[in-house]
Structure 1
């Protein structure tokens, strides 16, 4: 089984539940602390394929909840720079399966990878 690299906020209840679901489906989950991982802009953008930068912002991040960032009037470039310097702004989890990367937890998408591997 191809390992699932799971970039999470350590201690996040939702990330813990998501990892358990993946393990229950037989995935080899490798947990990595998202907040301690230094991504370049290009590395981060690889996870956001088919999504806008704004879709990849964690709506529960303190800077967002406290309205310290105006998402509607901040450029994608500025948002990306903020995500690099404040990874708590990145919607979790970031997931890598083989060469495929994506942002957010989509169990159906992950199960598709497992089905392809079994064929």
Structure 2
């Protein structure tokens, strides 16, 4: 099994569920606070390799939801500058296993990458905020 360095927003419901799936599959999870990490361009780019810039963003971040930041309209350099200034904009989780870096938690992709328990395949959307409603803003 793998040792997964897991960058999360503490107390995020989905990140908690994602860590649980990884642990149940026998992986060691080392949780780190995504919001207090000292990010720089090089460290973030490791996670984003091969992805479109728009896919780097947390779609539940207040600045994205309000339209202040439009992921499809920013350059890679602008995105990195914004994310370093406000890590809530970074899509979660960021995961590292050895020298392999990933962003987001698509169950099928994680299954193919490091493996999950078969029962975890039942729930496939572990990225959208489950706390939707007029009173809650998940970010």
| Shared fold per TM-score greater than 0.5 | yes
Q: Which runs of 5+ in 1 are unaligned?
A: none
Structure with a larger share of its residues in helix: 1
Instruction: Check whether the contact 2:8–2:15 (CA below 8 A) recurs between aligned residues.
Output: yes
* Match of residue 34 from structure 1: 34
Count the aligned residue pairs: 115
Query: Which whole-Å CA distance do the structure 1 matches of 2:114 and 2:51 have between them?
Result: 23
* Match of residue 21 from structure 2: 21
Query: Which whole-Å CA distance do the structure 1 matches of 2:7 and 2:20 have between them?
Result: 14
Post-superposition Cα deviations, 1:35-82, rounded to whole Å, max 9, x if no partner, equal: 000111011001001101211100110101111123343322111100
**Structure 1 residues 71-110: aligned runs within 5 Å:** 71-110=71-110
* Match of residue 56 from structure 1: 56
Runs of 4+ aligned structure 1 residues displaced above 6 Å come to: none
Query: What TM-score does the superposition give when structure 2 sets the normalisation length?
Result: 0.76
* Match of residue 47 from structure 2: 47
